[in-house]
Amino acid sequence: MTAAGLILAAGAGRRYGMPKALVRHQGRLLVQRAHQVLAEAGCPTITVVLGAAADEVRAAAPDLPETVVNPDWATGMGSSLRAGLAHLATTGATAALVLLVDMPGVTAEAVRRILAGAAPDALVMGGYGDRRGHPVLLGRDHWAGVAAVATGDRGARDYLRANPVRIVPVGDVADDSDIDVP
């Protein structure tokens, strides 16, 4: 079974003041860091969904893996998740490990723990004490259902709340804080 990494990095970062994919954090772009985390965790393929400033992101980070441009990025993260899953549906991936670009505290170890549950019927989320968060694993059997409800900035949230999800504790090796403002 193959779980593909899927980095959602299409937003304009309105609250931040610039696309978060272009934000430097600890010496590199957030999008490069997300790619490195998924690669270190063992994702055999990784796709980055871009949107706002896509050409600028590609120029600033020429080492990125395959990219997909979400033409509807301004409508929110849901459209980026749909674009990424639609792309992965054309591959042999059996699951998608979703990572948001603005969560630099997620580690390769956290991703490995989530990847251990990869299967076409899997729904797995990272656990941080009493909270659920990223990384999130979506088995291929769920992609159509996720895509049907992914709107605005809600992504897979409603689908995950309506279906049984396995929670894997990762709070001891990761931080689920996101970067919303400088």
What distance in Å separates the CA atoms of residue 69 and residue 152, rounded to the nearest whole number? 17
Residue 154: its pLDDT value, please? 86
pTM of the predicted protein model: 0.96
Which pLDDT score, from 0 to 100, does residue 1 have? 57
- Bridge partners, residue 49, by sequence: 8, 68
User: 34-49 b/e with 16+ CB inside 10 Å = b?
Assistant: bbebbeebebebbbbb
Strands (E), the chain: 3-8, 24-25, 28-29, 46-50, 66-69, 95-100, 123-128, 131-139, 166-169
| pLDDT at residue 182 in the model | 81
pLDDT < 70: residue spans in the chain: 1
pLDDT of 117 reads 87
- Identify the H or E element spanning 55: helix 54-60
Sorted by where each starts, the structural domains of the chain and their CATH numbers stand as 3-169 (3.90.550.10)
Helix (H, G, I), strand (E, B) or coil at 150: coil
Q: How many CB atoms lie within 10 A of CB 24?
A: 11
